[in-house]
Structure 1
């Protein structure tokens, strides 16, 4: 097991070699290897350290720590120091399918982790019993040593509930979003989905995870809460997608400020809520005739709101009765909005398949993680080329949308940047790289890279 892990790590390092050769500086790389697969899905930072969450199957080998998944897939949470040392690593999960989706810092030197688990699961100091086919978990860990301080499960008999994102306000209370199917009971009153998936927004006490209020929204189609953020004013921002049910009826969703109608298969939304009781303050929808979604939201000190995600473009093709439109490829986007949700600017890039995650540095720079194919031109002097079919990308932008720098990560396979974090000294990006086994197809393994903020300039690759 150890020799196999070393071979895979060496191969990944060679795949990433062109990054530091091209720029004259070597990023710090963490390449935790699993005997099957692993992926990084969430990342946040405190001063110089990173906190990371993801999922793995088989045995995970990371600096001599070798947890083995108890089921099809388990959760890992870790704290990484600038020197490359893994300060602590925690293994969460049970005999089912378990995924860690997001982490955020909270008050009292704590870390909040969210995701999904199936069946009974071991969360270190706490054991959780699932109610449905898959349940949502929210757990609070000590930043110092990773101890689980408390963990909560939310779901319902026969239902499916998944937590996708979490945000903490100034007092330490938590806001959680995701999706559910069927009937779930996060509190005393059951929530029933209207379609394939409905989205939810929960407020929990940061002290013990007790539910303060729950809201759910959706129509006949697939409706998912992808990310949540808290503005300096305390307003809660929610983003994701809503979609049509049975074509050709458009998708519809009402957050309480009037019905939003989709322009195509699925549209992105942005909505604002009161933190006190969860009532909607305003909501916006945007998209085209195909499939569109927003995946990440951040809020600046002045209340400005920023989103990333993807749009699906339409391709025009000749037919027997003239031109017709078909669903084409995806284009990543970055957009800026006023504190009241009025769009100020938007950029789309055909080569960027999707923007997955956004962070805001202490200096006010937007940092985006995603993946792209071919030649990605983000603006004057900021261009990167993929080595494989798709490469991970991390890029910095001003709050007016001007590209400042970009870096790519990847080899000859499919590589993705799923998570990003930014501090005064460092930018971190995490995701998935494709690696070859000794024999057989490419499989996925996780990566985290740290770049020094002072070394990032206006050059791409």
Structure 2
């Protein structure tokens, strides 16, 4: 859907709006071109050519219910500026962006513009846009630090007026907030990487900020979500060692001797006190992806795993097996971290990973959509792995929803799967072509239709064999709508 002549754009957010519209957010370098209509084998006509001001800039684009790009906005300055996350707020009337910037960064268009400045290091910004025409409402600097990356954003269930959470990685030092109410955090030692978690009010003032985790071996930021009671849960991956809530009375340490990436998850109360932390152990690299919460306080985690992984090591244990290689997985937990079930996309010696999750709750039931990538052969297994009075393994059952790559072997394709609230697979679909293609984000429109956004290389087929089969030829970013 979007293409770029120099460096590939980075997609960092997808949001559903009333009337079947959608928002895409991310960053680009040089220029970003959107087509004016749905792209097929014929070359698209240019609708909008966004140009950066010298380095990476952010973008926000609105796509209509039939795939037409309605408007697109660029934001940033001459330094490297990136959008890191997007949340839809105010009942679909607002688009709330979180990102990083260097030097001066400009937002909006004449007559409604704002410029914010960061003197040293990397600044953190939030920006609120009206979704009808992309008009800027406000832009603010909310922090700055060293080696900032992988920011995550979660708006409280009451809306942006009640506040939001921000998490991300930093080294050495970070300052969050503005003026006298700001909070500074320091990494404990040179070379140590830390994950921060901060709560802000509706006016972008910091309420509290803590170091959620630190590691000397390596740290990857996973998901962040706001719980119905105002608490927050974070997930990620670490190598070597991990200290959750370091320096507090509830500090919890995990040590790993074999040096693989392993998964952790922790929950923090509305006041910033850690409630619990868990560690998943395996025999090879395992990664945490997205993390979301349902209205009953359940947690859903996606990611990738090798071999058999134990959720949680030393606690209530649930094993999720592997078909060999890197497998995508989706797991459900109670609000206290107790495992409920786990499902996998068995890759059989290939690789795959679950990158995003979206929930549709209706009539007391929940459907879980998750997307990511796979190569070679992938299958989704019924029934799921479960936890009931001790660890259980899924009994051997015929594999359902078997997906094979649409293009060359060992090239990545997109998958989209829908699971019931009990972990059983309702359906699964694939898309892709001769290059590496990934589903990065999934969201649900008001009518229940799932939207998937991601990246593709070369011709990619969506809806293979279906009446609406579409082949995308030119571009780097895609947006696809599926029936409920």
Q: Same fold (TM over 0.5)?
A: yes
Quick check: 1:43 aligned with 2:14? yes
Q: Does the aligned pair in 2 maintain the 1:219–1:253 contact within 8 Å? A: no
Q: Does the aligned pair in 1 maintain the 2:183–2:208 contact within 8 Å? A: no
Give the corresponding residue for 2:285: 291
Partners of 1:75 and 1:197 lie apart in 2 by: 26
**Secondary structure class of the residue paired with 1:367:** strand
Partners of 1:262 and 1:79 lie apart in 2 by: 45
Give the corresponding residue for 1:344: 340
TM-superposition CA deviations, 1:167-186 (whole Å, max 9, x none): 11114211111111221211
Give the corresponding residue for 2:117: 129
The Cα shift of 1:313 comes to 4.2
Give the corresponding residue for 1:12: none
Match of 1:183 among 156, 173, 185: 173
Give the corresponding residue for 1:253: 244
**Secondary structure class of the residue paired with 2:433:** coil
The Cα shift of 1:215 comes to 1.3
Give the corresponding residue for 2:200: 204
Q: TM-score, normalised by structure 2?
A: 0.76
Partners of 1:347 and 1:123 lie apart in 2 by: 42
Give the corresponding residue for 2:330: 334
Q: 1:71 to 1:222 in 2, by over 3 A?
A: farther
Give the corresponding residue for 1:278: 272
Quick check: 1:61 aligned with 2:33? yes
The number of residue pairs the alignment matches comes to 397
Partners of 1:45 and 1:301 lie apart in 2 by: 19
Partners of 1:201 and 1:260 lie apart in 2 by: 18
Partners of 1:443 and 1:242 lie apart in 2 by: 37
Give the corresponding residue for 1:419: 441
Q: Does the aligned pair in 2 maintain the 1:371–1:392 contact within 8 Å? A: yes
Q: Does the aligned pair in 2 maintain the 1:131–1:155 contact within 8 Å? A: no
Q: Does the aligned pair in 2 maintain the 1:164–1:227 contact within 8 Å? A: no
Partners of 2:281 and 2:96 lie apart in 1 by: 32
Give the corresponding residue for 1:432: 455
Partners of 1:422 and 1:106 lie apart in 2 by: 15
The Cα shift of 1:129 comes to 1.7
Identify which of structures 1 and 2 has the higher relative contact order when contacts are C-alpha pairs closer than 8 Å and 6+ apart: 1
Give the corresponding residue for 2:480: 449
TM-superposition CA deviations, 1:78-129 (whole Å, max 9, x none): 2222122323211112223332232112237322111222332222222222
Partners of 2:429 and 2:128 lie apart in 1 by: 33
What runs of 5+ residues in structure 1 fail to find an aligned partner? Answer: 1-30, 245-249, 315-327, 437-441, 454-461
**Secondary structure class of the residue paired with 2:210:** strand
The Cα shift of 1:154 comes to 4.4
Q: TM-score, normalised by structure 1?
A: 0.80
What runs of 5+ residues in structure 2 fail to find an aligned partner? Answer: 37-46, 309-323, 382-398, 460-472
Q: Does the aligned pair in 1 maintain the 2:236–2:288 contact within 8 Å? A: yes
Give the corresponding residue for 2:102: 118
Q: Does the aligned pair in 2 maintain the 1:38–1:444 contact within 8 Å? A: no
Give the corresponding residue for 1:213: 208
Q: Does the aligned pair in 1 maintain the 2:360–2:448 contact within 8 Å? A: no
Q: Does the aligned pair in 2 maintain the 1:251–1:265 contact within 8 Å? A: no
Partners of 1:404 and 1:132 lie apart in 2 by: 51
Partners of 1:243 and 1:406 lie apart in 2 by: 32
The Cα shift of 1:65 comes to 1.1
Q: Does the aligned pair in 2 maintain the 1:71–1:94 contact within 8 Å? A: yes
Q: 1:163 to 1:110 in 2, by over 3 A?
A: farther
Q: Does the aligned pair in 1 maintain the 2:129–2:137 contact within 8 Å? A: yes
The Cα shift of 1:261 comes to 0.7
Name the Cα RMSD after superposition: 2.4
